[in-house]
Structure 1
Amino acid sequence: MTSKEIARKLSIPYKTAFYLKKRIQVIFSHLNESLREKLYKELENPEYAKDKIAVADSVVLYSSSLRANKFRSRRYKGGSASIYLSNSIGGEQKGTLVHTVGINGGMTFYKSIPLSNQYYLEKDLEEKIPKNVTLYTDQGYEFIWDRPNHKSVNHSRKSNDPRYNMSRERWVTKEGVSSNGAEARNNILKQSFRSYGYISPKWSQLYLTEISLLGNIRFVPELRNLLGFGESRFVGLRDFYYSQENLTHKTENYNYLPLSLEARNKLKTRKLVNHYREQDIAKYNKDYRTAILHNDHYWEKFYQKDRMKNEVEYNSKAFKIYSITEKRKWIDVDSIANQLKLNKREVIFIIKKWRKHGIADIIERQERYRKIYKFKVKNVKLYYLVYSNFTEVK
């Protein structure tokens, strides 16, 4: 319900209706946050989460038009670029970029984010969905490596039949993986926002939380009774004995703060550049220090896109290999390659790189790495095994 509709139905001035709507949105924000925390705790239970499927996707609302951009065409055509004006006129954010996270047949939560990159998407997922829950997305979430139950669809998949350009498996794979649940929620969101001519990014999170709670109420009978005056011990939107001191009535606490052009330029630094302090690097062995400096120089000074693409691809595969290794458990290269559907030679190549740069010395300070062993079996084939917590092994 818009502020104008509230003013018309209650016969009050528009400013009063606008203030009233903001008060209601603040209350909804408190309630929706409690629902998010409750759902997260429930999903941490393996028995409850085994049949739950989470979906995630992003959508743009009110993208910048040529008129708002002083009739300049946008330089970038990506989803997040369409919410910003041209850099030549300040690069101000005019549209809203929304990240949608929900459970199929369950609750949905929306988050207003400034950029559709790994930092903001992964941070929002960690706040709402535990890593043990099955997650379905599109191919835009290839950066996820530490969620063993993450599966994605490829919207750019080509058809094997020469008569057709695109494949039917762009939306649903043969294994039944689909991101249609998130697409449907985005469609509902866009239809709901058609009631508003325009919403400033400053208030976007309040409006998104309002729509999220109105959709989540049906899954919480107690909340339906609370908002519908169904219980005698409830007065209005709060408990009869609930103190207002527990509520924060400032709308500023829920405002969205857009990134400036300078802040966005700072985020353009490459993700694979290390951010160690000099005193920390001095503690590592010579081979590891050399590898760090070589890596940083490569990603800051090098400009061969094809080679960089290969580097990113191998980093992603290395993260996947790490994610399936368990403490105090041996695993061979064949099992890794079959489980991750990788080439065995690539797996051996990555493990050799780990072994070359002094992994054993690094493990003493960082649990993230694994010690590498090698041995020969009867058929003279060379296998590389990964083992964790090596300090107990003599």
Structure 2
Amino acid sequence: MAVPEAFESVVDHFFRHEYGRVTSFLSHRFGTTHLEQIEDAVQEALYKAMKAWAYGGLPDSPTAWIVKTAQNNLMDQVRRQQNFEAKHADEWVRMNETVMEAEDLDEELTDDTLRMMFACCHPSIRQDYQVLLTLKILCGLNNREVARALLKKEDTIAKGYTRARQQLREGNIELTVPLGAGLGERLDQVLKVLYLLFNEGYTASEGSDLVRLDLCAEAIRLSELILERPLLRKPQVHGLMALMLFQVSRFPARQDEEGRLLTLEEQDRSLWDQRLIRQAHNHLQTASAFGQVNDYILQAAMAGVHATAPDFESTNWQALLGIYDAQLRLNPNPVIRLNRVVVVQKVHGSAAALRELDILSEIPTLQDYYLLYAIRAEAFKELGIGDAAREDLQTALKLTRNDRERAYLEEKLLTL
């Protein structure tokens, strides 16, 4: 008997999106000390759904069905524990019944997902573990999918997640959205993890994929979840959303049919998603209306300059240079200085760009960064210094681990 397409779609939706909501919901009520049991209970509930719904059809409220089944599974696990006192089991039964009396289950699930998001991104947890917890709990990815996304071995992910879950459990971290003075710092930490998640999807650091759309989509979905709550509608959230939407709008044009990386100059701008660009502009305007400047807003403003140019030649490079200067005042980061050189070359010429690059090449953190050499090669090429350009491109090739970027650099090398 073939499984109906609608059934497959709903089950996939639960595995991807509802898994995190239900896990967060149960963790808020029964505590993160039982997170491993809760995850097992939710996974078992989803497996039961796969079997029951395939033959009996979908229930009126699939989410409530999953929650109730997962809670029953959890209760069965608790009762089987030999060292669990009867009075505690009775208390859990009472809590179980109370949970199901909630009138607005969907709103509770959303609130609990936000609480879990802040818990996963707690500053006491290692940052790489924060990313792991976010991908596993909130995005519902299994070890194999996380390993593929982060280009690590599956057993490395499994061991790392065990340690990450241990930090969450032993840290006695409450599932709560902080209020008052602590909100800004904690929200910034959450956004930092989402930004890292998006960037790993937008420019894959290794492998044959140029982008990983699933990671970008999850970062946007979780950011949208934050914006559902008025208390969390801060300028930095709108700024990050604007940046991500501007970047995603160009996805259809970033590669040709053979998978070759296309630069902004080469991209067919008619393929850019204008709906996403409009949404990005709206978020950027909302963020700017707060009268506060942050790194996400400035990065989004740069992306907006590119999005509004009808063609590459019409790009407002002077405006971009001004935004880069503002960003450096806020965050004097060597990578930002390096990216700024590309604009310096457009505004002031290749000789000026090389002078900047001579200074940047002395910074240790940039000396193993392939883009330093790729950008300098372009400046040498413009000045007709082919041998130096060729040498820098060869160095860049040795340093990059992304196959698509390697192919792009090899193509540039052939044109010299």
> How high is the TM-score relative to the length of structure 2?
0.23
Q: Which has the higher strand share?
A: 1
- Larger RCO, structure (CA 8 Å, separation 6 or more): 1
Q: Which has the higher helix share?
A: 2
